[in-house]
Structures are given as structure tokens and as C-alpha cells.
Structure 1
Amino acid sequence: MLFLLGETNVSLCMHIVYLILGSNLGDRKAILNKAIALISDKVGEVILKSKIYETAPWGGVEQPAYLNQVLMLKTTLNPEKTLKHVLEIEKDLGRVRVVKWGARSLDIDVLFYDDMIINTDDLKIPHPFIHLRKFVLVPLVEIAPNFIHPLFSVSVEDLLKKLVDHSDVQAIDASLL
């Protein structure tokens, strides 16, 4: 898209972003739905949503089971602004950072941003634990099995096939929540 603003040309590029949402405190389904609405409003158009999965906690901290869902969206935001907005959404929906990998009302992680590789103190894309987490790969494979991980040069489906994480990840009937 090309817009003319006075004498300045401004090009708006669309980027494809994959996010994972997780919640294990409060009304988990309502929190995921509110997060999706806010993401649509502040970050970009949600193109695809995986099923909702109930998953075992990851990271060795005793806590309730999570609901997780992966989204694919289109955005004009750069990676840093995308992160800024998802962190604001987490905070708006009650996220308090106390214990690393601890229970939380909402967690949103940027999994992929196009095929970019970013490694800064504040932002790591692709997310560094994708290939280790069944709760990420199962819903990601549902909506983007052939997406090629830019660091490993293999599809996310192949990453799932090689996964050693055997934690419980079950698709649920969201209407029953």
C-alpha cells in the first residue's frame, strides 16, 4: 500500500506474526477472548486461531493447568511495537510478573515475526523455546504446519515430530468452559 502524505511517500508493509496466548488464573477462556479482541484492536488482524488447548504447566513451578491458543495475524507494526502492545495487553488483563514461569492471568509470547531473526535484550524472535515446548508446537502446527523455523530451517511440524516434551496437551471444547 502506498499513501501520499504531502510530499512524503509512506509505505505500509503487512507482516505475518504468530503469537501464543496462555492463561491459568481466573476465567481463562474469557481472558483469552478479551486478549484476542485487544490484539485485533491494537496489534493487527487475526487471520487464524488454533483450537484452545488445556496444557500442563511448563518450567517446574507448581501451578494450575493452562489454556493456550496460537494466533496468526497481519500487522503493520514493527517487532518492537508489536511486543510493546502485547505487554500492555498482558498488563491490562491483570498480568503481574512475580515468579519466572509462574501462574499468570495472561501470557502472550511472540513466536515468529515473518522470518526475522532478532536477538536483543528485550526481544528474541523466533521465541527461543518453541522447539522445546509441546504446548506451543501442537497449536502452532494446527494452523501453520509448513512454516519454516528461520534458525533451524525445518518446518514446525518436523519440530513437533522430533520433540521430547511429553507433557499433556489436549484440545478442549471451548463451549464447555
Structure 2
Amino acid sequence: MAGKRLAVAWIGIGSNLGHPLQRCLRVIAALARHPRIHLVQVSSCYRTQPVGFGRQPWFINAVAEIATSLPPLALLRTLQRLETRFGRDRRHEFKNGPRSMDLDLLFHDQRVLRHPLLRLPHPGISHRRFVLVPLAEISPRLLHPVMGKTIDLLLKETDDVSQVVRVVLENNKNQTTHLPS
């Protein structure tokens, strides 16, 4: 990636089917192996309450910060190919339903984009604790280019009260710690 200007992007990662924690960890490793993506940092994984359609397993969510030479639509296509590789089949899904893998492009630098296939920043960020909590962990001072507020402030102001529980990995044992609402 030398010689090209790299964009900084943030990707929301989520899964609630199969073995979601392992899927999320494996997709993070796949992102790190991509030749045009440099993994900068990754949040903790969080066990999160489903939003919208409640009769489904809880999710595992995380956020990755990357540096990439890929423009937004090419990065979106890359993320969609990874979703498919990790078992996502959009033909059998419904809004806010279960997902084997969900990769959302949240931000791409401070770009604002309204395209039929992609909106940047991701339109639901300020109403989703499952995105805001891991994003605030790694980039609390990131400024939302449309709302003009930091991620920390958006988290404090959100109307979402869904549960978000940090998953702590120690010596191959999964433990959970509850975070304040």
C-alpha cells in the first residue's frame, strides 16, 4: 500500500448465528490479511441485545479501524464478499433479522456519500449502542461529519437503551462484564 494515500475507515462487525464470537474473530483475521487493508485497531467484542426483531439470539459485535487504499464502493464490495464467505445469504434475510455475518462500513475518512448502494456515514450510528460502545472504545474523539459530534457524545446522547456486554477473553475462557447503560 506504499505510495498511495490511505483512507481511514471504521467497520462494524456482527454475527448471531453459528458460533458468532469465532466468526467475528475469523473475519477480523481475514480483514488483516487483505492486501489493501491495514488493520489499525479493533475494539473488544460485545454481546449485544438484538434491536428491531427481538426473537433471535443475541449478537456479538465489534468495530475495526482500518487504513485502506480502497475507495468506499470498492471497500463495500470487499466487505460483502467477506460476508458471503462467512455464510451470509441475503436472499433469506429480513430487516434486523439473524445474521451469520454483518459488516457495515460506518465511516470512510470524513466523507459524506449518498449513493444508491452506500450512505456514509452509516445512517444508524447515533441510534445503535451496539455500534457506539465498541466505536467509542477505540475512537471516542472521532467526529461525525454530518452531526458534528464526537462518538463519545453520541453515545451519551443516544436514545438506545439496549444491553451491550463486553466479552473478555482470558486464557481461552469467555467471561462477561456488564457495562453501565
TM more than 0.5: yes
In structure 2, the residue matched to 1:68 is 61
Corresponding position: 1:20 with 2:12: yes
- Return the match for 1:112 from 88, 107, 113: 107
Deviations 1:104-132 (Å, cap 9, x if unpaired)? 11000001000000111100110000000
- Return the match for 1:157 from 152, 159, 166: 152
Secondary structure at the residue paired with 1:85?
Answer: helix
CA RMSD of superposed structures (Å): 1.2
Secondary structure at the residue paired with 1:161?
Answer: helix
1:118-133 matched pairs, under 5 angstroms: 118-133=113-128
Corresponding position: 1:139 with 2:134: yes
Secondary structure at the residue paired with 2:73?
Answer: helix
Worse-superposed segment, 110-119 or 94-103: 94-103
Please list every run of at least 4 consecutive aligned residues from structure 1 whose deviation after the TM superposition is greater than 2 angstroms. 174-177
- Return the match for 2:79 from 71, 75, 86: 86
Shift of 1:61: 4.5
Task: Measure the CA separation in 1 of the matches of 2:117 and 2:80.
Answer: 12
Task: Measure the CA separation in 1 of the matches of 2:95 and 2:9.
Answer: 24
TM-score by length of 1: 0.91
In structure 2, the residue matched to 1:51 is 44
In structure 2, the residue matched to 1:34 is 26
> How many percent identity over aligned positions?
33
Shift of 1:65: 0.2
Q: How many residues align?
A: 168
Secondary structure at the residue paired with 1:47?
Answer: strand
Q: Which runs of 5+ in 2 are unaligned?
A: 175-181
In structure 2, the residue matched to 1:9 is none
Task: Measure the CA separation in 2 of the matches of 1:172 and 1:62.
Answer: 22
TM-score by length of 2: 0.89
The one-letter amino acid of 2:112's match is: I
Secondary structure at the residue paired with 2:52?
Answer: coil
Q: Which runs of 5+ in 1 are unaligned?
A: 3-11
